[in-house]
Structure formats: structure tokens, C-alpha cells
Structure 1
């Protein structure tokens, strides 16, 4: 059965046709002019009649196909655009293009200038000052500096998402100037929910950088995401209430104790969800002011202060309890495990948790089994679970874990299997379970196996049975990755595809079986299953020969499948 072809919309076909004929039709006369000398306020033509979302989609298509040039941008930068992304053509974006955007696109709510590093900071600041409606702004890998960040703080009161990752000119003081106006003694960017600072490494000591992040956490009451390696240090500083030292992080900014006092006062005035939304949309002019405290009051820290952070990355295991008390609204967390047994921390402190990653950063020293009790307490709410570089000691741990998490949408794992001490008279291998393990929402399943224990017959047999149960119980599965699995996958696929209707695995689009125990027969079962398969990776599968690979490709060709089969 051939794979279902993708349905292309009429709109998509029309935009692709315009893109294909951009040079020969729409740019034929316009390219004869020196476009660097013109800053047209209005351009007569078809694009000022096209909906803004369609114009943006056309820019994306042209950029990804490398057909976008400055002339096209002159035609496509229309006043009615609400969203604009120049990421796909960052190499041609310069001062002249920025001037066009500044003059024409004054109603933008979303702007993406990722990697547009040919534009100087002054041009970026001028552009931002004219876009007070911005809600989302990406300046990653640009010349963004203190001038630009100050302009953001003063001119973008509605901004909710900001990305300044990999901006080498971003400093600690420039970040503070974005969230606090020293002239008016008011906080800025009060609606900001996401602040991305990946690979931002300002000068100064680690303690000073932690204080800056702490200042930002206190100054932005709606902040939900602040990924940075020093975030844990800032949270520990906030938890320990170490604001007894006089002075500030930087000259001109209030002490952290006063910022914390102001945050507490502001939160006390906010009652109910509607009041919170009104508070988020306040302009910087109406932002709360920092009231100077007497010297005897600067060390006072509110008894209870909670942050609205919802996503935490690379959280050290030792900091889980501290962070949990400060951030009760966390929905996504990645915990870096140490070499000590499970301590006193618990995941129950995060009732809204839906995405969890547990990983050992170096060699695996922690076992899957020691986390089963902690995962059981939150299993029903988990949608994404990733367990990386853990030891697997007992055969039935994986099905036990998956049974605890019936609402999983994505499961990723990397286990090292320990060799088991078998009894002299090992009983016969038990039959595989007939009942599926119900995972009705599972879209992606990934299992990477290593270790001496994975070669033992008893483990291979039981794992094969577990895979049968999982695959039979996952009707929505689209991505399947089984790497290093030595269980007889031919038999697994025979049982799964031989199940009574409805047939399983009809939505599979990507299958990876790298280094696993599968032959051409098992692979052919996957190919001819009638699923929506696009990629099949058989790399390092010892039982698949070059001839088998060619035969599988020939089968896919005869069935007119749009399928890529990898083998090495």
C-alpha cells in the first residue's frame, strides 16, 4: 500500500507559484532600479492587497529556497504586516532593510531578526523605539547591546517574549537597564514571560551574575522562563534571603532587598486573575516604583515569596527542594542527578508538572528502580518523560514505569542494563503478554540499550514482550526508535502486525532500528505495513546485508513509497 501523499492547500500552491515566478514576473522591472536609494512609503502592486500572514509565508518560502533578495524585500515589506521573520534571509539584512522596516512596518507584534548580525545596535534601537506593539522579539546572535536593551525597556511595555541568546555585547548592567528605569525609578517590561539568555556570559564574578539574575527574577513578576546555567545560584540566593550586605549589584540600581520589598508590595495589590492581567499590561510609566527603605529595613525579606517560573533546565538534584519552594508552578524541569542515592526531595511539590527529564551527566550511577516511587506520584500528569543514562536492574521495571504514566505523549530513554545473576535451573521463558499496555496518546517512543545484561536471553525475551505490549497499545505512535535492542524484533513485529483489527502502528512516519537485532524480514514487515512511513534507519544492523538493503529499496520503489531507507 502506498503512503498517503501530503495534501497541499490551494493557498500553498498559489504562494509557491508566486515564489517560482518572483524574478521573471514580479521583479522584472523593479530590479532595474537602484533599490538602495529608495525608501518608498507605499508600493502599488499585488502584495499590498495580500493578507499579512500570506506575505510572511511568502517571505519564508522565498528565504528557504534561497530566492529572496533585497528587491523582493522592498516589495514585500508592507504596512499591514503584524508578524515578520527575516531569519531565513539574515545574510542580506542590513541598515537599509532595517530603515524600510522602521518606516513601513509600524504595527508589528512579532519580529524575528535571528542572526541578522550586519545591523548595528543603533539601527536596532531606532527600529524598536518605533514598535511599541511588540509582543514577541528575537534578537539572538545580533549586535544587541545596552542601547538596544534600554530601548526595549522604555518602548515595549507589551513585550512577552525576548530572545537575546548568543549576543556577545549583552552585559549585566544592560540587562538591568532593560528591567529598571533609573531615571524614573520604575520597573520596565512587566509583561515579560520568556527571557532567553542562552550562551550569554557577561563579565564579572559568578556571584555578581547570580545577583543580576536574582534582580531580574524579582523585577519581572510574570517571568516564566529564564534558561541560564547560573539560574540555580540565583534561586539559592533568593531562597537564603542573603540581602544583608549594603550597596547594590551595580551603581544606580536599588539593592536586592528593596527590590524584593517592592515585589511583595506589588503582589499584595493584585487580587484575582483579572487584576493580574491588567497588571501585566501596564506600561513602564505606571510600573511600580522602588521606595527607598531605611538602613534597618534593607535586610528585611518577605516571609513568603514565590516565582512564576514554569520551565527549569539543568537543575542540580541538590537544589530540587529549594527551587520547589520558590517555584510551585513548574511545568517542565530537567534534573541533573548526582552520585548519591535519592534524597529527601519529591516531585509532588510540582502539581502542574507535565514534562520531566532525569539524567546522569557522566557515567550511569543511578538506577531506574530508585525513581519508580517518585514517578508514580506524578505519573498521571506526565506527558513527556526522558530518562537518560540510568542503570536498569530489573526486567519488569520498564512496563511498570509505563503503566504509571498512561497519558504520555513522548518517552525517551537511555539505559545501561546490568547483568543478572541467574539461577542454575532457570525456568522456561514465560509467554509474551497478549494484552496491550494502553498508551493512547503516545506519539514518540525511544529506547537506547547498552550494557552486558542486554545480551542475556531472559532479558531479551522479557523486553520483547514489553515492546509488543507497548506497540499494540499505542495507536497514535508516529516515531519509533529502538537502538541497541537485542530482542528478536522480527518476532516482535510479527506479533504486533498480526494483531486483530484495528491494525496497530498505522501512523508511523519514522522508524530507527540502529544496532538492533532485526533482519530483512522484520524490516519488510514495517515497510509494507501500510503506515505513513517516511524514514527507516537500519544502520549497524548486523543481520541486514547490502543485498537486503537493495531489496527493501526496490520494494519501496515498486509500491511507490516516498521512503528513505538508511543502511551502513
Structure 2
């Protein structure tokens, strides 16, 4: 295999790589599903499948036997060097998805035209040697994901990133990333738009501060995000809040953020309590928050003046000389008096559609749209400082605040700030599910995604009101504790929900997961009213693609059989695009039915109903025997998991 040392960009993709294109892929074992009636494979897809099937026995085998541990190539001239970067990226993704990517195969696929590389699903392959090859061969990478590679020293990681100045997206979650790596990112990766360093426990909050003067400071207007939840601790208790405030001020174009203490940081900024962070900024050797704030104000004033000059230039094209002079004098006087008020009006008009509150007493607002790591502390300040939020994740403490109010009731009040515009909401709440209903009545009308984790159920729990509060949902995930088995709750919900069961016609993903004790062979199945709600949901959601029903405290097999016997569901305009009404569960691709009473006959009926189905998990389903599973596995192309 001869070498070549050119850094040519043969076949390089011009568009950013990666996740959007990969999300559109629907590989099913040896098939790529593209049609409702079954797999229809193009020549391109067949070629990629052939390459994947022959990678181990042909390409990687030859390289491993003759070159892998004997030579160190800067570049390899081989068959994969002739492919476009997009095709190589798809091939890497396919091999990772099949758990077939080896060290030798990765050596061959690290070609100069590669723009996106994700090794998140095979972190064991991320070694210093591989990183050396990445730095030497793929210097034009736009997207790199090495999340979970815990064996990689931070020095090697820093040296690798030093050679990748074109990066736009970088994911290092769960890695031994330290302050040196962050400094390298800030100094070298000047085009970076997305950084994920979550679960990097060697990072303290202060270690993130170099980002404020480097990587994300751009005027391109591209969406930018910083994810840094569950990192190391600071020297003082208030370090996370001070660090978050510094980053919010020094990176005003951030739209997606996951930081601890972000709502308290917003309160600090809103109240101008910058002196509270002086000890932190002095210790970290960065500018005081007051100076950073003043710099932002000066920049806003300069931008405001430039915009007014441009506006004046436009008017001069349509006014004669005499009228122009009068206009400019009046406009100059008026702009000096009302500059800040005009700025507030403009910001409110563009970012606060449907808001129920005004901005804070200042005219400063952040561009945040997606925020994670929130608590119920100071959410009111977050609402005034960040009017454009449409996605959030909140951890709610079931205790009371200093005024004796429950924090979950405060959440309902605070969410009014974004009523009508909140699209995605995730709540972790170790309290009764019914207590979240006021919150969902406030925010549910606009939600397309809802996640409720850790909630509890009891004899008064009713799922129907929760579901009806969010009629536009496309994704619903509820992770709950089952009610005590000695409680009886069938009759109450049946009576109150009779004739008014929930309907989510846009639902694409449904997850209902209940916790259980491992000592129990099977869950106590007494919540029979849950069957009725679930049957209505499955029957009225023909677009459902992912279904996960784990350890349900009610009979499931009978419910699924009733759904499969249901008549066609007419979607109106949606049905016209497919030519006929859809059957319930017809579009399913992924099914998880762990620890339920489902039977193999029902599983086979599901396999016959959905032509797109590619994965079924029936682990710990006591009604299914090993012989039944083995027969189903050998007779079907669908991956059926049983244990």
C-alpha cells in the first residue's frame, strides 16, 4: 500500500456532516427500509452493505495481516480513498451500528475527505494511536464525537484537537477532559458551534471560562450550544453559579445550554449582583463580571448606532435633500432619548410571541432557547432574562420553599412565562404524578415532547387528564413507580374517564416504564384501568414508530390483541399521502415489551402487521419460552431479543 502526503479534498462534502443525514438512515440488519411495503435498496445502499459485509474478511483482514502493527502510515492510498466523505461517514456509521468496526477497518476509513466521525458507540477503539491518525489524516473534520472514551489521556486529546481547527461540533462527554483540553479548544477551534463536556469529572466550573474568550465568540449567527452537566466541583459552593453567569455574559449568542446553577446565574445578572462573583473571577484570573457586562453594553450601543446609521442611509434614498436634513435632525434627537426603549421593543417583538410577562427592568435579554439542568429556584428571573426558551429540563424538589409553598406549584406559575411557546419539557419529580397536572395545564397546549421521570402513582392517579393536557404530543415518556399492590383503583378512573379517553393522533414515540424489585418474578398486575387508556392511545395513534412498555402493572397481551383487531384509522390528509387509511401499529419500527405478560402469538401478529419493524425486545416475558423465541428468531428478519 503506497503512501501519499497530499491533503487534497477529493470528494469532500460541502455541507456540514453528520447527525441530520444519519438520523434519516433506517438500516434494518441487512436492509435499508425506505418504503412502507418493505425494503427498496438503491445501488448506492447495496454497495455500502456489500462493503460492510466484506470489510472484516477482505479489506480489514489484508491490512491487519500485512500492515497494521508493522507500519505507521500518514495516509493510505486504497479503495476507500476514492469514495466521497459522505459515503465513508455512512459506512463508519453502519459498521458501528452493527458492532463490526475494528481497529484495522478504522485505519482504512480515516481518509482526508472525511467531515464527520462518531465513535461514541465503540469507545474502546479510541486510543492514542487512533487519535494520532485522526490528527494526521482528517484535519478537515467538521464533527467529532469521542464520548465515553475514558482510556484516552487528556494530553493526547489536547494534541489531537490542536490539529483539528475546522471543527464545528465536538462531543467529549464522559472523557478525562481537563483544563488543558478546554484551553486548546478555545485557542484552536475557533469555528466551534457545539461543545459537549458533560460528565467530565476532571473539569471544575472555572475550567470552562477560557471558552468565553475563544471558541464560541463569532458573529455568524449559527446556533451554538454548550453542554456541561455533571462535571467536577468548584473550590467554593457558589462557583457553578459564578461560572454560569460569566459564560452567559461572555457568550451572549448561546442558544442551547446545560449548566448547573443557570437560573441563579440569571438572577445574579438581572439584579446586577456582580460583586458576588468577584472572589471567583479573581481566583480564576478573568475579568470581573461588571467589566464583562459593561463590554456587552458598549457593544450593544455600537451595534445600535450602526443599525440606525444603516436605517438613515435607506431613508436618504427616498427623501430629497431638504427633507433628509429635517428627518436626520429629528431622528438623531429622538434616537438619543429612546435608544434603550426601542431596543427593548424590538427584542420583545422578535423573541416573546405569546409571552405573559414583560422583560426585566433592564433591556438586556439572552438568546437561550434550550436549557437543561434547571431547578425551581429563580425560574422567574430566567423567564424575564430568557423570553425565547422553547425547550427545558427541570428537576423539581418535592419539598416546600421558604414561604411554605410547594416547589411543584411554583413551577406551574413560573412556566406561564413561556405559555404557548414551550415545545419540549422534561421534568424529574419524585412526587405524585397528579401534582404535575397544573404544570401541564399551563404548558401542555404547545408541547410536542414530554418526559416525566421518577414520578409516583397511587390509588388516585389518573393518566387521562395528564395526556389530554398535551394534545399535540409526538413524544411521550413516563418513568414511574407503580402504585402499591394492595390498593384498588380500577373503578374510579373507569367512571371518570368514560367517553373521554385521551387521543394523541400525532404521537410517534410512546414509553411507559415502571420500576420494580428484582426479587419479584413478575409485576403485580392489578391496575386494569390502565389497559383502557393504553388501548385508546395505541388505537388512535397510527403514526406510532417506537413503543416501549416495560413492567406494566396491568395485563398487556389482551390489550395488544384488542388493538390489533381494531379497524383502520383514517388520518384525513395524512392518509391521502399513503393512499389508504392506516392500521394501528402499522408503522412500528421498535418495540420494547420487557417484563410483561405478552405472548409469542401476539409478537407474531405484530411482526405481520408492521413491515417496518426491525427490533423487538421481549426479555423477561414469562409467557414466552426459549423454544418459541428461537423459532421466531430463525424465521424472521427482525431482531428479536429474549432473555
> TM-score w.r.t. structure 2 length?
0.67
Match of 1:504 among 564, 568, 584: 584
Residues 384-395 of structure 1 correspond to what in structure 2 (within 5 A)?
384-390=449-455
Contact preservation (8 Å) 2:191, 2:216: no
How far 1:518 moved relative to its partner?
A: 6.1
Asked if 1:335 corresponds to 2:394, the answer is yes
Is 1:358 aligned to 2:442, yes or no? no
Q: Does 1:227 align with 2:261?
A: no
What is the rounded CA distance, in whole Å, between the counterparts of 2:172 and 2:493 in structure 1? 63
Any conservation in 2 of the 1:347–1:375 contact (CA below 8 Å)? no
Distance 1:22 1:429 in 2: 57
Match of 1:470 in 2: 537
1:401 and 2:466 matched:
yes
Q: Aligned pair in 2 of structure 1 residues 204, 539: CA closer, same or farther (>3 Å)? A: same
Aligned to 1:55: 88
Q: Partner of 2:640 in structure 1?
A: 564
| CA displacement, residues 124-167 of structure 1 (integer Å, 9 cap, x when unaligned) | 44443443322112334545433332232223222101123344
Does the 8 A contact of 2:38 with 2:611 survive in 1? no
Quick check: 2:154–2:177 contact (8 Å CA) kept in 1?
A: yes
Q: Secondary structure at the match of 1:47?
A: helix
Is the Cα contact below 8 Å between 1:160 and 1:192 reproduced in 2? yes
Describe the shift of the 1:267–1:192 C-alpha distance in structure 2 as closer, same or farther (beyond 3 A): farther
Q: Give the structure 2 partner of residue 68 of structure 1.
A: 102
CA RMSD of aligned residues (A): 4.5
Contact 1:165 / 1:198 at 8 angstroms: preserved in 2? yes
* Corresponding residue number in structure 2 for 1:289: none
Among 188, 200, 211, the alignment partner of 1:155 is 188
2:275 alignment partner, SS class: coil
SS at match of 2:255: coil
Match of 2:379, SS state, is: helix
Q: Write the distance in 1 (CA, Å) between the matches of 2:195 and 2:246.
A: 17
Say which is worse superposed, 91-100 or 212-221, in terms of deviation.
Answer: 91-100
Match of 1:139 among 161, 169, 172: 172
State the alpha-carbon separation in 2 of the partners of residues 187 and 520 from structure 1: 53
1:324 corresponds to 2:383: yes
- Report the 3-state secondary structure (helix = DSSP H, G, I; strand = E; otherwise coil) of the residue aligned with 1:535: strand
Deviation at 1:36, TM superposition (A): 7.0
Find the counterpart in structure 1 of residue 137 from structure 2. Answer: 104
Give the Cα separation in 2 of the matches to 1:58 and 1:203.
42
Q: 5+ unaligned residues in a row in structure 1: which ranges?
A: 276-300
Partner of 1:296: none
Spell out the pairing of 1:209-220 with structure 2 (5 A cutoff): 209-220=240-251
Q: Is the 8 A contact 1:153 1:189 kept in 2?
A: no
Indicate yes or no: 2:62 matched with 1:28: yes
Query: Residue 81 of structure 1 is aligned with which of 114, 134, 154?
Result: 114
Q: CA deviation at 1:260?
A: 1.8
2:622 counterpart of 1:535 = no
**Shift in CA distance, 491/266, structure 1 to aligned 2, threshold 3 Å:** same
SS in 2 for 1:15: helix
Partner residue in 2 for 1:237: 268
User: Contact between 2:426 and 2:452, CA under 8 Å: does it hold in 1?
Assistant: yes
- TM-score if structure 1 supplies the norm length? 0.75
Contact kept, 8 Å, 2:179 with 2:203, in 1: the verdict is yes
Cα deviation for residue 48 of structure 1 reads 2.4
Do 2:600 and 2:629's aligned partners in 1 also have CA atoms closer than 8 Å?
Answer: no
Instruction: Determine if contact 1:221/1:308 at 8 Å carries over to the other structure.
Output: yes
How far apart, in 2, do the equivalents of 1:111 and 1:226 lie?
A: 19
> How do 1:83-482 and structure 2 match up within 5 A?
83-87=116-120, 90-91=123-124, 93-95=126-128, 97-116=130-149, 121-142=154-175, 144-180=177-213, 188=217, 193-244=224-275, 248-250=281-283, 252-270=285-303, 303-337=362-396, 338-340=398-400, 341=406, 342-343=409-410, 345-350=413-418, 351-361=420-430, 364=431, 366-368=432-434, 370-390=435-455, 397-413=462-478, 414=480, 417=483, 437-448=502-513, 460=528, 462-482=529-549
Aligned-residue offset at 1:210: 2.3
Secondary structure of the structure 2 residue equivalent to 1:244: helix
Q: What is the alpha-carbon distance in structure 2 between the residues aligned to residue 324 and residue 121 of structure 1?
A: 38
Conservation of the 8 A alpha-carbon contact between 1:417 and 1:450? no
Give the SS at the match of 1:58.
helix
Equivalent residue of 2:62, what SS?
coil
**Measured at CA, do residues 387 and 495 of structure 1 come closer, stay the same or move farther in structure 2, by a change above 3 Å?**
same
